[in-house]
Amino acid sequence: MQSSCAEIQAQVSDRVLEISIQRPERKNALNMAMYSAMAVLLRDAATDPGVRAVIVTGCDGAFTSGNDLTDFLGGSASGEDSPVFQFMRALYEFPKPVVAAVSGVAVGIGTTLLLHCDLAIADEHAVFQMPFVNLGLCPEYASSYLLPRIMGHAKASELLLLGRKFDAQTAANVNILNEVVYSGETLARAREYARELAAKAPEAVRLTKKLLRQGIHARGLEFIREEAGHFQQRLQSEEFREAATAFMEKRPADFSKFD
């Protein structure tokens, strides 16, 4: 199985597809070509009998620093046909188990995509953040729906409204992660999980995943769509322009002029 994008690497071993984000010079920030490549890999793997489990990981001490702001400033993330939405839906509807292996930074969708994986492992130095409000944006990928349900309203409000960084142990304590491991052991541990899953009865695994998720499936997709609509509007806002410009200029954003 091959990726259509050089910054997304894919290999299959022992019936496990490993998808690796490889853009270290930008801390694995995701652009449209990368989203598109991952969506295609997931859609193909969904019907490939040679794939029974998937690992998603990063490289060089980073999982992903989130969206490439250059793409979003250019207005290329729009609607359900966009690569971003196609990736979100492909992972959300993926019928086989997905294991995330997180090292280093996991920002924005780097954190929210973990809500749609079945198992997530991070090393002790991993750093998470959902800085949507800090960027003049809103939550995405059904995070405003799922986070209160897995960690309670108070903690979800803290993480989404304040947009602060938090460590791996906090992520485990609020049920974003299954396990925290020592630095350098993340991918090996994820491979153990994925190979164990791939060795089990495949139909039983798929059915169990379906049953586990069916209570939130339809509602979650509604939230993905609703959040995406608001997110797209926010990308056109002056608040986002100020936040993105401040980020590029390496200065604090100034929202004092906004009502």
Entry pTM: 0.95
Alpha carbon 62 to chain centroid distance? 13
Is the residue at 175 inside a domain? yes
Is the residue at 14 inside a domain? yes
Number of domains the chain contains: 1
pLDDT of residue 215: 86
**CA–CA distance, 117 with 97 (Å, rounded to integer):** 7
The string of DSSP letters for 152-185 reads: -HHHHHIIIII---EEHHHHHHTTS-SEEE-TT-
Is the residue at 196 inside a domain? no
Is the residue at 43 inside a domain? yes
Alpha carbon 21 to chain centroid distance? 11
CATH number for the domain harbouring residue 39 = 3.90.226.10
Is the residue at 224 inside a domain? no
Is the residue at 55 inside a domain? yes
Alpha carbon 7 to chain centroid distance? 16
Is the residue at 89 inside a domain? yes
The string of DSSP letters for 64-126 reads: E--B-HHHHHTT---STTSHHHHHHHHHHT--S-EEEEE-SEEETHHHHGGGGSSEEEEETT-
pLDDT of residue 77: 62
Is the residue at 174 inside a domain? yes
pLDDT of residue 49: 97
The string of DSSP letters for 126-150 reads: -EEE--TGGGT----TTHHHHHHHH
Contacts 24+ apart (CB under 8 A), 204-211: 205/52, 205/96, 205/97, 206/95, 206/96, 209/95, 209/96, 209/97, 209/118, 210/95
- CA of 4: how far to CAs of 132, 194, 245, in Å? 29, 24, 31
What is the domain range of residue 144? Answer: 8-183
pLDDT of residue 157: 98
Which residue bears the tokens 């690992």?
Answer: 55
pLDDT along the chain (259 residues), means of 10: 91 98 96 96 98 97 92 68 94 98 98 98 98 96 97 98 98 98 97 98 98 90 94 93 91 92
What H or E segment, with its residue span, contains residue 20? Answer: strand 16-21
